[in-house]
A and B are shown apart, each in its own frame.
Chain A
Amino acid sequence: MSVPTDGLADGGRTTEIFDPGDMARALVRIGHEILERNHGAADVVLLGIPTRGVPLARRLARTIARVEADVDADAVVGDLDVTMHRDDLARQPVRTIGATSLPPGGIDGKVVVLVDDVLYSGRTIRAALDALNDLGRPRAVQLAVLVDRGHRELPIRADYVGKNLPTSSAERVRVLLDEIDGRDAVLLNGDVR
């Protein structure tokens, strides 16, 4: 495997955690786990958190639609922007606001599965729960992430995890997706533990 150095901070060593095959297998497994836990796809809505949660949610929706014949992938997936609900707005430069779009059926009474790439402090998910609150009242909210890297600052955990990746906070986890970055990979960048 070639190890790219483009756009990665402070040199250090870069390890590839997922190659495209690993990622595809993890997403298929998560898709099946969602169906298993909820006894099918009835009332399940997938909401991707921008930026990389959005294509991940779409891939999960396609996986689910392949298994459950009566599910239309486009009808169960949406985007949930959490920028305006973040608690760290005043600590960072102004963030660009992303798009929020809900599936045609809305989220009231549904089982909403939030989809994000990396679960770290948990603050993004807290913001997502607040944002969700303003949009409707789901029956239940679950969380699917591709990578859980630990270091939680809030009592939040994921229901579906692609890979548990113990990290030090000095390290950086980067998820690359074909739709945005031109290829699929999960990279760990930083000092060797």
Chain B
Amino acid sequence: MKHLLSAGDLSRSEAVTILDTTAAMAATQEREIKKLPTLRGRTVVNLFFEDSTRTRISFETAAKRLSADVINFSARGSSVSKGESLKDTALTLQAMGADAVVIRHSASGAPHVLARSGWMTGAVLNAGDGTHQHPTQALLDAYTLRRHLVGLRGGVDPVGHGLDGQHVVIVGDILHSRVARSNVELLHTLGARVTLVAPPTLVPVGVEPWTCEVSYDFDQVLDTEPDAVMMLRVQRERMGGGGFFPSALEYSRSYGLDARRFARLPDHAIVMHPGPMNRGLEISADAADSPRSVIVEQVGNGVAVRMAALYLLLAGAGDASPPGHAENPAPIEGAA
């Protein structure tokens, strides 16, 4: 693994390795001294072309806990707002010796371009690109699911396990959700069954080949007693002129996790949300604040997942700066 671009790129064994490493990282975060010397001397650049406080802070915390140096580069107030291209930004970061670049971009595929163009040799971690992918979010969701449904409920050490036989329902704005796309691919890889629930207007065209079921009726899906319900934020900032649903109230009545629907969930089921939440729209306070809600835990697990990803991409030999990519002016190697 050289980059982390898409949850769909991960094989089952790679995904399980990341989740197992996450468990080891999470264990270190319960100590009094949380900092580890593992990535000392490595440089991680947070390259955020889109605003995101949560994800950036999560990556920044993860890199700092592993003793890497962190440089935050946000598009606003930087050379990007003066018209610099992605290529020139990448060449700049390469010249500064970035070992890894965490990129968030509003254009789907931007991390892929950065990783495959040969502009830079460091590892690329996708922190969300357009409506395409957000692999670390899917990994932290899978880790949270595994901890609760396999570990705490099944009573076994979840290390080494996937999510076989678990049924996860993802509800809401699938159309604009990179979280949903990433989760469908990763959870399927790990053996879980995924059902997407959304109004027809918020289901993407071409959803048929996805490895999941699609339903327009939340109540009907609740009858199947899912093991977990993941509520997605209604991304109104991406809805432009509107017209996706008649009113917030109607959306909430049909697709919100209100007290009535929350009460119908099986006792063991957990409630998830990638945040930030619109309370009262897609999720009610009853569900969000209940003991079965793991929404706050997801944030903590996010740091551990990102530590695991940085460790696996940066700690080993040759991952950080493989000598001589053909397209690049390779640094002159000292005569041995």
Contact = CB atoms under 8 A, between A and B. Distances in A.
Interface of A: 81, 84-85, 89-100, 130, 134-135
B36 A94 contact: no
Contacts of B206: none
A135 B312 CA distance: 23
8 tightest Cβ-Cβ pairs between the two chains A and B = A94-B316, A97-B24, A84-B38, A134-B33, A84-B36, A89-B315, A93-B316, A92-B317
A84 B21 contact: no
Contact of B24 (A90, A91, A93, A99): A99
A181 to B, nearest CB: 19
B262 interface: no
B27 interface: yes
Contacts of B320: 90
Contacts of A92: 316-317
Which of the listed residues B33, B66, B317, B320 has the most CB atoms from chain A within 10 Å of its own CB? B317
B225 interface: no
B31 interface: yes
Determine chain B's interface SS by DSSP, over half rule: loop
Contacts of B17: 96
If over half of A's interface residues share one DSSP class (helix, strand or loop), that class is named, otherwise mixed; here it is loop
Contact of A90 (B35, B66, B316): B316
A97 B37 CA distance: 14
A90 B33 contact: no
B21 A97 contact: yes
Given A85-B36, A99-B27, 16 more contacts: A84-B66, A84-B311, A85-B38, A89-B316, A90-B317, A90-B320, A92-B316, A92-B317, A93-B317, A95-B315, A96-B17, A96-B21, A98-B24, A134-B31, A134-B36, A135-B31
B27 A100 contact: yes
Interface string B293-329: 0000000000000000001100111011000000000
18 contacts: A84-B28, A84-B37, A85-B38, A89-B316, A90-B317, A92-B316, A92-B317, A94-B312, A94-B316, A94-B319, A96-B20, A96-B21, A97-B21, A97-B24, A97-B25, A100-B27, A130-B37, A135-B31
A104 B118 CA distance: 51
Nearest to A134: B33
Contacts of B24: 81, 97-99
A95 B314 CA distance: 11
A135 B32 CA distance: 8
Nearest to B36: A84
B315 A94 contact: yes
A93 B311 CA distance: 11
A94 B21 CA distance: 11
A91 B33 contact: no
Nearest to B35: A134
A100 B20 CA distance: 13
Contacts of B27: 99-100
A38 B45 CA distance: 50
A81 B36 CA distance: 12
Contacts of B311: 84, 94, 97
Contact of A89 (B25, B28, B38): B38
A95 B17 CA distance: 11
Contacts of B25: 97
A130 B38 CA distance: 11
Most buried by A among B17, B20, B36, B319: B36
Nearest to B25: A97
Contacts of B38: 84-85, 89
A135 B66 CA distance: 16
Contacts of A94: 311-312, 315-316, 319
A96 B37 CA distance: 16
Nearest to A102: B31
Q: Which of A93, A97, A100, A135 has the most CB of B within 10 A?
A: A97
